[in-house]
A = this chain, B = another copy of it.
Amino acid sequence: MNKKVSLKDIAKAVGVSTALVSYVLNNKEKEARVGKEIAEVIRKKAMEMNYQPNQLAKSLKSGKSFTIGLILADISNPFFANIARTIEDEAKKYNYTVIFGSSDENAEKSRDLIEVLIERQVDGFIIAPTERTESQIESLKKANIPFVLIDRYFPKIQTNYVITDNFGAAYRATKHLIDAGFERIGMIAYKNGLIHMKERVRGYKQAVKDAAYGKALLKEVTYEMGEGEIQDKIDELINGKQKIDALFFATNTLSIHGLKYLNRKKLRVPDDVAVVCFDECDAFDFFYCPLTYVKQPLVEVGQQAVNILLKKINNPEKEEEQVSLASDFVIKKSSAK
């Protein structure tokens, strides 16, 4: 069992104190006036013994772990998976490591994760918060732990956040369908109190209202209920007296399940029903009809979140920052009349 090499081991091997070794290996020779030759010897020995500093000990001493805790709502969703990747890359630029976990839209899991990560002394958090986690966010704030919310935020709590303009994007998507000549536009959304979803619904309703015809044909499904409920809601929209001619899906998972069902029902896009999706997804490439979708600026969200967080970590007095980014809107055949 070859134990790990510590500063002490090197010190012993060279015949000096650990202080000297520390100075040399941290390039503080100048300030500490370390002898030139001995510095060389130490450096060589460290190499030779394959010394790798113990980050835990460093962190303990310095009170900084150079670690960011990332809590996502659902890692299996490519939307979040891609944000995770961006955040990891961006953090690495500043020598930060990311530890992440998925709350799976579950407040308990979220609480556990935050606790574990605090115990591991993360320097700050990036969180896509879930329903009923306001209190957790409040606690972080009270404890003066730096954090940035992404994708969603709580209007009642003053925090850092980076989101996309969901209202604007949904309005534009709906308006696009209206302008294209569709008249009974349905929307499938999740039923929850999260701001991003509310905003998307609000954007849709506003656009319908502004067009001054028909009424909003909104169906909401519960996150936990799965595919079955989505299918029921689509049935309602299709079979209602207000038979829809276009459908707006509020997220990529809703799109996938919804489109699969349209396929099953042999409804052709866009002839039987036009489709616009919020978010994209690899799978769309295989759909027979190219899909129109709202393209959120994932990379920017991730980068800005990291940057704001690091600013806050390095200056806890900093004011909270709120960023709302515009999305792209990619128009394809699925929304053509």
List the B side residues contacting A144 at CB < 8 Å: 1-2
A100: nearest residue on chain B (CB-CB)? Answer: B100
Could you give, for residues 52-84 of chain A, a 1 whenever the CB lies within 8 Å of some chain B CB and a 0 otherwise? 111111011000010000000001100001101
List the B side residues contacting A2 at CB < 8 Å: 143-144
Q: What band does the interface of chain A fall in when counting residues whose beta carbon is under 8 Å from B?
A: 35 or more
Interface residues of A in 173-207 (CB under 8 A from B): none
A252: nearest residue on chain B (CB-CB)? Answer: B282
List the B side residues contacting A101 at CB < 8 Å: 88
Interface residues of A in 35-58 (CB under 8 A from B): 50, 52-57
Number of copies: 2
**A76–B120 CA distance with the chains assembled, in angstroms:** 26
**A322–B82 CA distance with the chains assembled, in angstroms:** 33
List the B side residues contacting A316 at CB < 8 Å: 1
**A1–B145 CA distance with the chains assembled, in angstroms:** 10
Query: Nearest chain B CB to A138's CB is how many angstroms away?
Result: 13
Asked if B286 and A55 make an inter-chain contact with CB atoms under 8 angstroms apart, the answer reads no
Interface centre among A65, A88, A285 (most CB of B within 10 A): A285
List the B side residues contacting A102 at CB < 8 Å: 85, 88
- Taking the complex as formed, is A94 at the interface, i.e. its CB lies under 8 A from any CB of chain B? no
List the B side residues contacting A1 at CB < 8 Å: 144, 316
Interface residues of A in 1-37 (CB under 8 A from B): 1-2
**A169–B118 CA distance with the chains assembled, in angstroms:** 44
Interface residues of A in 270-306 (CB under 8 A from B): 281-288
- Give which listed residue, B57, B76, B286, contacts A286 with CB less than 8 A: B286
Query: Nearest chain B CB to A117's CB is how many angstroms away?
Result: 8
A317: nearest residue on chain B (CB-CB)? Answer: B1
16 contacts between A and B (CB under 8 A): A2-B143, A2-B144, A53-B119, A55-B121, A56-B56, A56-B59, A56-B120, A76-B85, A256-B285, A259-B286, A260-B285, A281-B282, A282-B283, A283-B285, A283-B286, A288-B288
